[in-house]
Structure formats: C-alpha cells, structure tokens
C-alpha cells in the first residue's frame, strides 16, 4: 500500500515565473513610482495587473498547481506573462 496519493501530480519549480515574481516584488518595493501614471498618481489598474502577475509567478514558480481549473488558469505561467504584458501596455 502506497502512502502517496496516486492522483498527485509531480511538480517542479518553474524558474521563469518565479524569477519574474521576484523581480516584480523587488522592483515595486525599491521603486514604487514605476506604478505611477503620467500625472504622478497611482495607476491602480497597472498595479493590479502587475500584482496578479507576481501572484501567478509565485504560485506557479514554487510548483503549486491548484486543483480547480479556473484558479489554475489564473495562477499559471501564461497568466504571469499576461499580467506583465497588460501592465506594460497600461504604463507605456
């Protein structure tokens, strides 16, 4: 009898999303003005996209795969990339 759940999926660290999440966390901490709009006010939509990307990067980066499909899609590697791209489009 095996003590490991047979339906468990072997996951590994995904370095690219993890490094992206670390870069976002460090950059926003050290230079929060990166999330300012043209008038100097906070761009909340860009911040939301970037923090979504950071969350997805950390979740996927450490190898965690949520069981429910919608959450798995929102916290995946491609979601991390989408959040970064949306924030970049918003800020540029």
pLDDT digits (tens, 9 = 90+) for 72-92: 999 999 999 999 999 999 988
For 1-92, list the strands marked E by DSSP.
none
Q: What's the CA gap between 70 and 92, in Å, rounded? A: 29
Query: Which residues pair with residue 36 across a beta bridge?
Result: 42
Residue of 91, 77, 82, 4 whose CA lies nearest to 44: 91
Predicted TM-score (pTM) of the model is: 0.85
In this structure, of 6-10, 40-44, 65-69, 71-75, the range with the lowest mean pLDDT score is 6-10
The answer to whether 23 and 30 have CB atoms below 8 angstroms apart is: no
Residue of 22, 11, 9, 26 whose CA lies nearest to 80: 22
């Amino acid at each position: 009898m095996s003590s490991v759940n047979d339906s468990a999926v072997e996951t590994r660290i995904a370095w690219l999303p993890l490094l992206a999440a670390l870069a976002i966390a460090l950059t926003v901490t050290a230079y929060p003005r990166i999330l300012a709009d043209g008038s100097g006010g906070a761009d909340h939509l860009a911040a939301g996209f970037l923090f979504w990307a950071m969350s997805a990067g950390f979740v996927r980066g450490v190898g965690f795969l949520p069981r429910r499909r919608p959450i798995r899609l929102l916290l995946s590697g491609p979601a991390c990339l989408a959040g970064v791209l949306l924030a970049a489009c918003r800020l540029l």
